[in-house]
Chain A
């Protein structure tokens, strides 16, 4: 963890440079210019909120010598309300957001603007969820706010993001118009650049004390009361609305004034519209955001070839000053292409285009300038010089496309412009390096460190940008680093790298690593197993590329070097050293010195031993680095490894395989479904081979309990019970043993591991209760290296998949029996050892063939539905979970909608059965006219048989009602609707909706995967976070207890409620899920889910679940209103009273232990209070259970 200090600069006679990303640069300015932050995490703006929270906790002061308060709300809507109130009180309030979060703030943006409150909202522009969610950049969110009355100020780079943040804070005070300051999500928010920092004096020059005082004086106070928020009638509303016009009219001028002050202080002169290019340009692109720099660099390159082009960038988009825009355009301009990074389906054009059209049309240049409009960069689609060149080229045509897209190939509506993927206009002085790393190997962290070293130790400019894939386990990271003597204006990925490093050797097989290599460049390989035979281990394609590109190749066995230095598994320092040794960006000795200084700075507090290990790794890296001799000829065998198997679907071959190969950008529009509907069950094609070790089964020890299968997060270990006769055809290494069953004879039992899909989490080994009696350290499942086993296990797995299902009698709905059922959720991208996915898997095993899932945005929606491959799959009959994600905040309501929709079809189907009764067998009509009372497997099977019979009877009927019933008949088989999400959804942003949906009494099942923290966005506090835990926005430890959602839900009386923890009592887990499903009303299950955000060994996750229960942190509990009908108490405690103190649970988790290091006395106090809270919780549950017992006389 790199410390994240707050940089305080008092003055800047000479500028101070720092290498940081826009989020940090903006947060720094916002912090100094604000008194209060009301925030809610959302990608990619979350780091800004986290930064101001950390600085506030550290007691850092703002411009006025005070420590701003930071308060986290339950949603962006809540944050906006708080902001509005704080502004109403006269404070300098501020926030950060993006995408759907910004949409949730819109109602208050209208209010804030309508009341002319000075306010700045910093936005990392991000796509809105439409046909799919995208966390990446476009301007859809910001454009949805252009009508709110907020001024829109756009920054194009990291430097501008900092500068414009300050200008926004200044201009909002001078204009009283709220400002929405935005910059491109990820591309700018997460790009690390070397920038000149603004000093405190700079900020004081911009943000005037008098303006602050005036804003404060307008605050609502009983000392001189006024009233705001009146209700106005038709007589006055309109006029009053127009009364604010002068304030908007003044904005452009006052923003320009702030720009001019900034220029006086720093020399960086901006204008509300800035033109750059040929003074007599005939073609101009108008654009805003990071794409501006690409257009400007491309324009300069074209002009150097003799063309006359230019670029006009829009900095102040609202209020839109057409006159200033036109004045900035050279008189010579005859054609303009307006680029919008957003899409308005059905509009006559995108917003900026329409604004420009109107500006030109109303000017005296109307008719002289032709304006075209194009879309680019949606969802962070790359925008390269080749694409900018394509726009200029199209403008050069006699009849340029009036509407176009650029950056994709649209073979449906043919809007796209052809573009070059080869154009490279970057300066030869800029050194470019690309690193392919494996998630958790530290590559990105080391590269961020390298950028800081180079940016802050030399005069070189530096830029870093990082790309991650969508998997949480075994993700690939790609780092793009540029260094050079001149300003780096290249907001796009590196296409031609001088230096390419592959830190994970298997990527050479799967990804075109050398596709980014420049001829004559350098390739650095991490070669596990030694450096002696590197060449012969390279795939044929890579050998060819090396020879053709004449690359210099170096290798190091980084893992061995790291191990010898005592840094097992952390190869980052080793590879970083090799980069500096080879790249020539800095003199080698200087670079090594800088690395060691950085090591001491980063690890100094962790002790000399850690420092020494890192330094030893640096020295060992230099010693272990070898040059690989490149022969003139290739010698690798020509083996083709398809990315999806030959039996994958046509879609899998055409689309998924190319996405897996990193070629998704090349797919045409026609390849995609137009409505976001995507085929299921594709993770099985993606053999990721992540596990260094896999479980190996010893049938002689195994007791066939299937617990290992239940807890496997990735469905990578499965049992089968198959007829003995089939064993004769088994592969040689396929292990099986006699099935332990009193009833079923002549069957064999097998536990088979999907060796290529296993992630090596070891949970199966940990949970295994079967031990060798004479060697108690040996279990029925022992971890062994995967590589020597994988070939045989691949064959075994294929054989296993073709075995028949286990006998129905074995597939009981208990722990063991449920695991004989086929999981319809497999090989997801969840973290190694994930604590959530086993619950989802068992859900699919119990009801998967009739399951409809509404999934809140979060971890479960990412591993559940993030492309390129998806884990929900189908059974042999083609049935399986129907999964979808709407939003974060609306999941409960969305699930209710699915329920009501299904119920409508059920009603209609039953009516139609009634209408058609005369034509159908009486007994069939009788059975189908009611829905089954119970949903046992036998009942469902009988129902399916009835529906099949109904279909066959209606198949040839021409009766319109019969035709309609055929489309609805499947709904006569009960559907199980499950609403799934994390605690961030259930406890916070979706709390109100969840409460309402549960209150309706409708038959929905809610599964809350409670990790007690926002896991997907990086560990922010939720209302489920326990007392004493450190989380983002609770850096000082959470000082309130977690909300007891379970007991709250029981207050209705009609809701089935359960708290479960699979690692503590798996039988209760399966029982609760089954009971919830069978309950005819709403049910709520809250499942303890261990998580990497707890700071634990994930191999110990199940044990932590056990300790959570044993310590009273997580009582196991069920509340079933049906029990009263049986004369029983409706509530049951399934766990005994605590038998260990809470600390025995908390001491294994860094989330609790970190506080003991930072604030030991507060940690001790919170720990004591948490123990009391746990005791009280137990007492509360005990009392509640007792209160639900029937009077003694009623007990049967």
Chain B
């Protein structure tokens, strides 16, 4: 069975990509992922905001106490070896590249256009095979329009495209008013693919403390269907890569994503909850299903049930919603 696929111009031995998670922080875990059969790994995001925050914290809690007291010029060793900002992240790219053969995809979240370019350039120089732009904005301001948000996103993509040569995907929110239009624009401006969709921390209301804590819940299988819809709708409308991220918990979920048209399928929650070896299960069962259904390759199944190729396009559209409700009632 030929499980190979092409994602962001990278030849992958199968469509399974380990999504961004703490697993990728450890070289030995990444080796285990590779051994288990994963075809590529996505590193956790380098958050420009976090780097700036750390620098600010350092300024507030470290630099500000320097040269204040006659008996203490400072309170920490003045080593020039303290790596700051992106150093650790960039070093980790090198470590992973040296440790595994599968492509290493870095991930980046910036706060302003300059950050995106700077860090994307550094990531490219550090040897990443590709980059995932982890984009999100919470439009709290009542003056911020959807159009403006889209403009900002496209500005970043344009800038990054001009700055780096390695392929990059854009991981987007599901909350755009016109997802298809946005994705088409991303392709037009030079992105090599799109990852659908980003998952966000959501506020957790703590009734004991009467406080709100941010919390990221792992995905559930129910999360998959939204991804399938949009990958299916877009598959034949764009040519660049589509990756499914969120809700892949079973080999059949992988098959579903491929049927919708995904070039790659990211999985994270499953591995965190049940262990790295589940990659092997996904891969082997994918092969079993393909064989049982007389497919010769992943390429053959890819997009077979996408919007333009499915037997009933209405299944993707609004009527689907109505009919579902009717079915539920009956």
CA distance A135 to B71 in the complex (A): 8
User: Which B35-79 residues have C-beta < 8 A from chain A?
Assistant: 48, 51-52, 55, 57-79
**Residues of chain A within 8 A of B52, CB atoms compared:** 607, 609-610
B81 within 8 A of A: yes
CA distance A1031 to B48 in the complex (A): 28
Q: Which single member of A50, A477, A606 contacts B84 (CB below 8 Å)?
A: A606
**Residues of chain A within 8 A of B75, CB atoms compared:** 1013, 1015, 1018-1019, 1032, 1092-1093, 1095
- A607→B55 contact, CB < 8 A: yes
CA distance A1032 to B67 in the complex (A): 16
Stretch among A88-96, A227-235, A439-447, A490-498 lining the B interface: A439-447
Stretch among B85-93, B96-104, B140-148 lining the A interface: B85-93
B221 within 8 A of A: no
CA distance A1093 to B51 in the complex (A): 22
Over the window 83-126 of chain B, the binary record of Cβ atoms lying under 8 Å from chain A Cβ atoms (1 yes, 0 no) is: 11111100100000000000000000000101100100000000
B82 within 8 A of A: yes
**A342: shortest Cβ distance to chain B, in Å?**
21
CA distance A1015 to B86 in the complex (A): 30
Interface residue range, chain B: 35 or more
- B71→A609 contact, CB < 8 A: no
- A608→B84 contact, CB < 8 A: no
Known contacts A4-B80, A609-B48, A1093-B75, A466 near B85 by CB under 8 Å: no
From B48, B82, B115, B211, residue with most partner A Cβ within 10 Å: B82
Over the window 514-540 of chain A, the binary record of Cβ atoms lying under 8 Å from chain B Cβ atoms (1 yes, 0 no) is: 000000000000000000000000000
- B68→A1035 contact, CB < 8 A: no
- B85→A1156 contact, CB < 8 A: no
B210 within 8 A of A: yes
CA distance A468 to B70 in the complex (A): 6
- B76→A472 contact, CB < 8 A: no
Known contacts A3-B78, A609-B52, A1157-B87, A1097 near B61 by CB under 8 Å: yes
- B58→A1150 contact, CB < 8 A: yes
Size of A's binding interface in residues, CB under 8 A = 62
**Residues of chain B within 8 A of A5, CB atoms compared:** 80
- B210→A472 contact, CB < 8 A: no
A612 within 8 A of B: yes
**Residues of chain A within 8 A of B65, CB atoms compared:** 440, 1092
CA distance A43 to B73 in the complex (A): 11
What number of residue pairs across chains A and B have CB atoms under 8 A from each other?
A: 158
**Residues of chain A within 8 A of B80, CB atoms compared:** 3-5, 58
**B94: shortest Cβ distance to chain A, in Å?**
13
CA distance A967 to B78 in the complex (A): 56
A458 within 8 A of B: no
Known contacts A54-B78, A607-B51, A1097-B60, A1156 near B72 by CB under 8 Å: no
- A605→B85 contact, CB < 8 A: yes
Known contacts A607-B84, A1157-B88, A1150 near B77 by CB under 8 Å: no
CA distance A894 to B71 in the complex (A): 24
**Residues of chain A within 8 A of B82, CB atoms compared:** 1154, 1157-1158
Q: Which single member of B63, B69, B81 contacts A472 (CB below 8 Å)?
A: B69
A899 within 8 A of B: no
**Residues of chain B within 8 A of A3, CB atoms compared:** 78-80
- B66→A1 contact, CB < 8 A: yes
A279 within 8 A of B: no
CA distance A1019 to B61 in the complex (A): 13
Known contacts A4-B80, A1030-B76, A1095-B75, A1150 near B57 by CB under 8 Å: yes
**B226: shortest Cβ distance to chain A, in Å?**
33
**Residues of chain B within 8 A of A1097, CB atoms compared:** 57, 60-61
- B79→A1017 contact, CB < 8 A: no
**B325: shortest Cβ distance to chain A, in Å?**
38
- B83→A1 contact, CB < 8 A: no
Over the window 28-51 of chain A, the binary record of Cβ atoms lying under 8 Å from chain B Cβ atoms (1 yes, 0 no) is: 000000000000000110110010
User: Which A581-623 residues have C-beta < 8 A from chain B?
Assistant: 605-610, 612
CA distance A50 to B85 in the complex (A): 25
- B68→A475 contact, CB < 8 A: yes
**A885: shortest Cβ distance to chain B, in Å?**
15
- A776→B76 contact, CB < 8 A: no
User: Which A427-473 residues have C-beta < 8 A from chain B?
Assistant: 439-440, 442, 444-445, 448, 466, 468, 472
Q: Which single member of A135, A1015, A1019, A1158 contacts B74 (CB below 8 Å)?
A: A1019
**Residues of chain A within 8 A of B112, CB atoms compared:** 609
CA distance A1158 to B79 in the complex (A): 9
- B115→A444 contact, CB < 8 A: no
- B64→A569 contact, CB < 8 A: yes
Known contacts A1-B63, A1-B76, A606-B58, A1157 near B83 by CB under 8 Å: yes
**B70 closest partner in A (C-beta):** A468
CA distance A651 to B74 in the complex (A): 36
CA distance A440 to B83 in the complex (A): 24
- B70→A1158 contact, CB < 8 A: no
**A5 closest partner in B (C-beta):** B80
A570 within 8 A of B: yes
Q: Which single member of A43, A607, A771 contacts B210 (CB below 8 Å)?
A: A771
**Residues of chain B within 8 A of A468, CB atoms compared:** 68-70
- A57→B67 contact, CB < 8 A: no
CA distance A46 to B75 in the complex (A): 12
Q: Which single member of B57, B66, B83 contacts A605 (CB below 8 Å)?
A: B83
A978 within 8 A of B: no
- B69→A1030 contact, CB < 8 A: no
**B78: shortest Cβ distance to chain A, in Å?**
4
CA distance A442 to B210 in the complex (A): 39
A2 within 8 A of B: yes
**B26: shortest Cβ distance to chain A, in Å?**
9
**Residues of chain A within 8 A of B63, CB atoms compared:** 1, 442, 445, 570
**Residues of chain B within 8 A of A58, CB atoms compared:** 79-81
CA distance A205 to B131 in the complex (A): 56
**Residues of chain A within 8 A of B59, CB atoms compared:** 570
Over the window 1012-1027 of chain A, the binary record of Cβ atoms lying under 8 Å from chain B Cβ atoms (1 yes, 0 no) is: 0101111100000000
**A1014 closest partner in B (C-beta):** B72
- A1032→B76 contact, CB < 8 A: yes
**Residues of chain B within 8 A of A608, CB atoms compared:** 114-115, 118
CA distance A765 to B258 in the complex (A): 55
* Given A1092-B75, A1095-B75: 6 more A-B contacts, CB < 8 Å: A445-B66, A477-B68, A605-B87, A607-B51, A1019-B72, A1030-B76
The 3 closest A-B pairs by CB, nearest first: A1018-B72, A3-B80, A1019-B75
Cross-chain pairs A/B with CB under 8 angstroms, 12 sampled: A47-B73, A442-B67, A477-B67, A607-B118, A1018-B73, A1032-B76, A1092-B65, A1093-B76, A1097-B60, A1150-B57, A1150-B58, A1150-B62
Residues of A within 8 A of B (CB): 1-5, 43-44, 46-47, 50, 53-54, 57-58, 135, 186, 439-440, 442, 444-445, 448, 466, 468, 472, 475, 477, 569-570, 605-610, 612, 771, 776, 862, 1013, 1015-1019, 1030-1032, 1034-1035, 1092-1093, 1095-1097, 1150-1151, 1154, 1156-1158, 1160
Residues of B within 8 A of A (CB): 48, 51-52, 55, 57-88, 91, 112, 114-115, 118, 210-211
